[in-house]
Structure 1
């Protein structure tokens, strides 16, 4: 009799554990936003390899979309001309498919994290316009064709416009002029006509930048070249940008006939070093001032940070008809690039999951926002 009672107790415990597990799984970001827009994250190499087991579990349970943080950038995919390395990207895409996720390729054309050979000939001189066009086409065609029908969207061109609305004086621009952007989109469209194609940038709410990006969108559309969205990277802090500025940009991009992608979001709680000067003699004092929360955020800062996230997500929900996806730039605070930028060695807290792989209280509050009328 005692054995039967014990067995029944074990069965009851198993049922309750399963119920609890199901409940926590149901109460996820991806379930909360499933009828609104994709909610995603960037994946680092240890997550793609499966070695960072705890954060991989968070990705599976919480997110409906993924983007590779680094392994699909050109310096990694084609370190030498004509010699491609797809191993990491293949694993990334396979993970997304296995977990039924909306997979994003990042990024096809970017002036940074680009192999040195891309712009120069054997003598180290700038290549001609025709050679650069061919190299762009070869790279884009190889990548997009390989993942045709599997990668659902691409950041085709990344960070080409300055805050004042002028074109960044990259080698792409110097050799090809403004035409490098339409060419990149054209090559991507030819390689996979069904993939969504995006222009992606930071400080994407600056009015002059918005004007130029809208002009690019309209130009592409008038020429029959596909562009589906504008990526707003959303690397933001507690003060900048003003929510009204950000909202205005969403509305203007949508009015141009494309969806908005929030592509690389995190909110830094640390003071911004921009506009401050640091004499070498004051280096220690400066670094301490720029890294004030090594042992965790004070409650008042934590509250301010949390409210900032909630304000942004209220805005996303308000404009959910204009938004395709919201993607966090990393899973846990440990992974975030903001720990080292723009000042090395800082301890930042910009993401939704903490250094112990636990959801911060703001996650549940964001989920609750989706249930409000």
Structure 2
């Protein structure tokens, strides 16, 4: 569930050569050395990250990164972890078969490396935002199952290989379970069978053995059907010795719904399997117009989500799906809803931002 990226008016096309930039060292201490806050509230989210031992991240709008100095300044001040919102998705990086457009993805990574930010790669295998040449080729039969498998392998090896040593974690498979708890119908499941999931993890690990490899999904905070099926997938992959390292909870919530009170226990079910956890796409939308009461409820939801992560020693990251309402995906997808981010359109911190700063390690 993400905003679609408009077709680029102009793209810089390049061969799939590795990005020449130094790898970013991990700035966080190991879990064993996580320290609780003292009495002082942190000045910003980067300082909070150091205090909690949890990376604080944001999705990055590549156009805003390039064109808006205030957006870029706040991003680099507040966050020690970033995710390309759309720039690393398949339709963005390979709009024509064998012709690559790395400009936006490279820019996100370069900016991160310059500003001591780690990067989450998003996403390698998804049922959405697949380039038209691929979906049309499958539909008309010019791409058969054997070729589709090769194309998927080449895509994963090319993209992960390009950023080898520069991406902390990859969302390898995204939203592979539907709301009823079934494997999601997609060209991957239809033509390759369920084994495509294990293959994707193996190929990503081959391309970058040091990257953390995640399965990522929405509504895992509360949807029992999705939770149980995803737990089963993880157990099956681990039984096959497939290199899966993490579980991503997207964290798209709305204040018109009850907060998922069992979220901490659900996260623990996954981390008890040995997985690292992350909240990967957090936002908390509301039915407009905005009121002080709605902002207070939103702040409570954000604080409870981060507190869940901070209380679990295997939760490594809390990422918001865009930090400002100026570039939120929510209004385009949920009619009459919005104001989902921790800062408003003018980059002014909302109560949710200040609530995050008060979180203490559980």
What's the TM-score bracket when you normalise by the shorter of the two chains? 0.7 to 0.9
Cα contact 1:119–1:126 (8 A) shared by 2: no
TM-score for the superposition, normalised by structure 2: 0.84
The whole-number CA distance in structure 1 between the counterparts of 2:338 and 2:205 is 39
The whole-number CA distance in structure 2 between the counterparts of 1:97 and 1:52 is 19
**Cα displacement (A) at 1:172:** 0.5
TM-score for the superposition, normalised by structure 1: 0.81
1:367 is the counterpart of 2:360:
no
Residue equivalent to 2:319 = 327
Which of 127, 131, 140 pairs up with 1:115?
131
Q: Which runs of 5+ in 2 are unaligned?
A: 1-40
The whole-number CA distance in structure 1 between the counterparts of 2:182 and 2:142 is 22
Q: Which has the larger radius of gyration?
A: 1
Q: Aligned-residue CA RMSD in angstroms?
A: 2.1
**Cα displacement (A) at 1:187:** 0.8
CA displacement, residues 318-356 of structure 1 (integer Å, 9 cap, x when unaligned)? 22x13110100002111111122122xx46211111111
Segments ≥4 residues shifted beyond 3 Å: 119-123, 239-242
The whole-number CA distance in structure 1 between the counterparts of 2:199 and 2:337 is 41
**Cα displacement (A) at 1:363:** 2.0
Which of 86, 96, 100 pairs up with 1:70?
86
Equivalent residue pairs, number: 321
Cα contact 1:210–1:253 (8 A) shared by 2: no
Which of 275, 283, 288 pairs up with 1:266?
283
The whole-number CA distance in structure 2 between the counterparts of 1:47 and 1:221 is 39
Residue equivalent to 1:3 = none
Residue equivalent to 1:171 = 187
SS in structure 2 of the partner of residue 340 of structure 1: helix
CA displacement, residues 290-314 of structure 1 (integer Å, 9 cap, x when unaligned)? xx41xxx222222222222222233
Cα contact 1:338–1:350 (8 A) shared by 2: yes
**Cα displacement (A) at 1:123:** 8.2
Larger helix fraction of residues? 1
Cα contact 1:189–1:225 (8 A) shared by 2: no
Cα contact 2:279–2:309 (8 A) shared by 1: no
Residue equivalent to 1:316 = 309
Q: Which runs of 5+ in 1 are unaligned?
A: 1-24, 271-291
Cα contact 1:105–1:153 (8 A) shared by 2: yes
Cα contact 2:299–2:355 (8 A) shared by 1: no
CA displacement, residues 225-252 of structure 1 (integer Å, 9 cap, x when unaligned)? 2111111111101143543232232111
